[in-house]
């Protein structure tokens, strides 16, 4: 087996994922009246990245062979796909949706920095408890719920930062603090996983088995311990990159809105009035 052969075979063309992704993008195009612009590119990129993550080699390797591949899959669903989807939303349909009182109340509650941060960070920490992580590997329904929770809580987290309704966004100062707290919490999780005792995730401890396992152990030289360490390092470092980019975007708003400096100096923050 070669790298090319492995990655050519490591695809799981799950019909529900493919049809669901296609339906999501078609629904989006219908809502925006099939306009093609930068927002369409953002949303389409998010859907495509989600699809490739869920049917491609990361999912194949993460399900049965590599903890590190599973971690990278979680990172993409959690902090890469959601901001692309949010950035792709135009303001008009969002305003229409929020004209309904129940939707407006839900948005106000979920976009509170404390709530959004706790939901997102809590989901990531919760699903990496061995009892839940291992249960997801054994049960497809639990696994689907795990991935869906990352997409949903990730979207909730990035909504106050990138919502198309500017008046609903967090101020740059509070937004920067908000991002830093979440980034730090996930870095801590990465450090914990990097130095976790071997055996927390027994599905990845096989030293032999089918051709893929033999390839991973002999060609890639990834034993169970190094795989666990690599997965933790991914959470520690790679997960921080989308946060860092988001932080740069939020900080840049301070320079386009100088009055934010005055608000920061006076201790005024939080979401802008809605």
Residue 85 placed within a domain:
yes
pLDDT, tens digit, for every residue of 142-171? 999 999 999 999 999 999 999 999 889 998
Tell me what pLDDT residue 207 has. Answer: 55
Average pLDDT of span 182-186: 93
Convert the pLDDT of each residue in 89-124 to its tens digit: 999 999 999 999 999 999 999 999 999 999 999 999
Following CA atoms 208, 209, 211, 213 in sequence, which dihedral angle do they give, to the nearest 10 degrees?
A: -50
Distance between CA atoms of 63 and 138, rounded to whole angstroms? Answer: 9
- Look at residue 12 and tell me if it is in a domain: yes
> Is residue 129, in this structure, part of any structural domain at all?
yes
Gyration radius from the chain CA atoms: 20
Residue 268: pLDDT band (50, 70, 90) is very low
- Could you report the per-residue pLDDT of 195-242, keeping only the tens digit for each? 888 788 888 876 556 788 888 888 888 888 899 889 999 988 888 889
Round the average pLDDT of the chain to a whole number and report it.
Answer: 88
Torsion of CA 108, 109, 110, 115, to 10 degrees: 130
Is 269 within a domain? no
Cα-Cα-Cα-Cα torsion 160, 166, 172, 178, nearest 10 degrees, comes to: 0
What is the structure's pLDDT at 246? 92
For residue 176, is pLDDT > 50? yes
- Residue 57 clears pLDDT 60, i.e. is over it: yes
Label residue 23 by pLDDT band (50, 70, 90).
very high
Confidence of residue 262 (pLDDT cuts 50, 70, 90): low
Q: How many angstroms separate the CA atoms of 62 and 189, rounded?
A: 18
267 domain-assigned: no
Whole-number pLDDT of residue 259: 58
Output the pLDDT for position 89. Answer: 95
Percent of the chain with pLDDT over 90: 62
**Res. 265 pLDDT band, cuts 50 70 90:** very low
The answer to whether position 149 is within a domain reads yes
Domains identified in the chain, total number: 1
Q: Rounded to an integer, what distance in angstroms lies between the CA atom of residue 188 and that of residue 235?
A: 9
Residue ranges making up the domain that contains 40: 3-257
CA-closest candidate to residue 235, choices 74, 49, 63: 74
Which token pair is 259?
A: 């009055």
Domain-embedded: residue 153: yes
Cα-flanking dihedrals φ and ψ of residue 254, to 5°? -65, -35
- Asked if residue 272 belongs to a domain, the reply is no
What pLDDT does residue 271 have? 46
CA distance from start to end of the chain: 58
């Amino acid at each position: 087996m070669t790298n090319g052969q492995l990655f050519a075979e490591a695809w799981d063309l799950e019909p529900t994922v493919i049809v669901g992704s296609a339906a999501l993008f078609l629904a989006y195009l219908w809502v925006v009246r099939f306009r093609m612009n930068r927002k369409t590119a953002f949303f389409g990129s998010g859907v495509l990245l989600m699809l490739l993550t869920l049917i491609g080699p990361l999912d194949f390797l993460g399900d049965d062979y590599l903890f590190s591949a599973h971690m990278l899959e979680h990172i993409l669903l959690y902090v890469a796909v959601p901001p692309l989807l949010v950035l792709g939303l135009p303001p008009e349909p969002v305003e229409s949706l929020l004209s309904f009182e129940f939707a407006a109340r839900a948005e106000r509650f979920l976009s509170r920095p404390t709530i959004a941060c706790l939901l997102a960070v809590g989901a990531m920490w919760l699903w990496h408890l061995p009892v839940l992580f291992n249960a997801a590997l054994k049960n497809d329904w639990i696994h689907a719920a795990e991935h869906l929770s990352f997409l949903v809580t990730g979207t909730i987290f990035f909504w106050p930062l990138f919502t198309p309704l500017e008046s609903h966004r967090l101020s740059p100062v509070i937004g920067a603090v908000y991002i830093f707290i979440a980034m730090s919490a996930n870095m801590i999780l990465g450090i914990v996983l990097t130095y976790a005792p071997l055996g927390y995730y027994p599905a990845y401890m096989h030293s032999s088995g089918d051709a893929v396992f033999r390839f991973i152990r002999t060609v890639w030289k990834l034993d169970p311990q190094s795989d666990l360490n690599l997965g933790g390092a991914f959470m520690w470092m790679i997960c921080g990159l989308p946060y860092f980019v988001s932080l740069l975007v939020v900080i840049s708003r301070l320079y386009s809105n100088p009055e934010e400096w005055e608000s920061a100096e006076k201790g005024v923050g939080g979401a802008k009035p809605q």
